[in-house]
Structures are given as structure tokens and as C-alpha cells.
Amino acid sequence: KAGVTQTPRYLIKTRGQQVTLSCSPISGHRSVSWYQQTPGQGLQFLFEYFSETQRNKGNFPGRFSGRQFSNSRSEMNVSTLELGDSALYLCASSLAGGGALDEQFFGPGTRLTVL
């Protein structure tokens, strides 16, 4: 069974631009969560989608948004990029979306650099 895939793996953008990251969950998984990882702040939860609905959102500004498609694939978008948005963005999928009970499977991440 294929794991979680994220595209692109590396991305360089400049301040003010916007970016879209993609995540394909494991086949059959309906929940997709996004995380931001930086050396200073560590791992921070962005949001979770289940069956095309956002179920929870972390403490990030509205510039960060996401969506999930009917095939469970998910995208996250960051608008008006800032230098501080440089980070590793991780996507994780789980079977049923009850993350307290489910094991999450993480992708390798997308490394975003904002210049």
C-alpha cells in the first residue's frame, strides 16, 4: 500500500506570493491533517479535514487555508507569504478521522523556503 505522498517536496517562493501544497492520503483514509514544523516552534497543528469538511483548526492566521476533495486528497494554501512561513509542512492521514483513537501516517513533508 502506498504511503502518504506530498508534492512538491521542495519549494522556493518570495514574500507576498502564494503557494499551494498537495497531499494524497493512503488509500481508504478519510482524514487528512496538516502540520507546520519549524526549528523555533516545533510541530504545530494547522487543520484537519474529514470527508471534505474542516473539523478542527489550529491557531494560525487566515492566510493559511485548506480544502479536501471527494477522493480525500487535500491541498493547503498560504497567501501573502512571509519570511516566517518558511517551514516543513507535513501532511498526515488516518483511517476514520477520530484521531484520538487512530494512528496517523505522515508524509515526508514539503520544505517551503520564503525569500
Partner 1 sequence: DAKTTQPNSMESNEEEPVHLPCNHSTISGTDYIHWYRQLPSQGPEYVIHGLTSNVNNRMASLAIAEDRKSSTLILHRATLRDAAVYYCILRSPSGGYQKVTFGTGTKLQVIP
- Give residues in contact with partner 1 (CB under 8 A): 4, 33, 42-45, 48, 55-56, 58, 90, 92, 98-101, 103-109
Hey, is 62 helix, strand or coil? coil
Closer CB to partner 1, 17 or 51, in the complex: 51
> CB of residue 99 vs partner 1: minimum separation in angstroms?
5
Minimum CB distance to partner 1 smaller for 20 or for 99 = 99
Nearer to partner 1 among residue 79 and residue 106 (C-beta): 106
Q: Find out whether 26 and 90 touch, Cβ atoms under 8 Å.
A: no
Closest to 78 (Cα-Cα) out of 29, 28, 11: 11
Other beta carbons within 10 angstroms of residue 11's beta carbon come to: 15
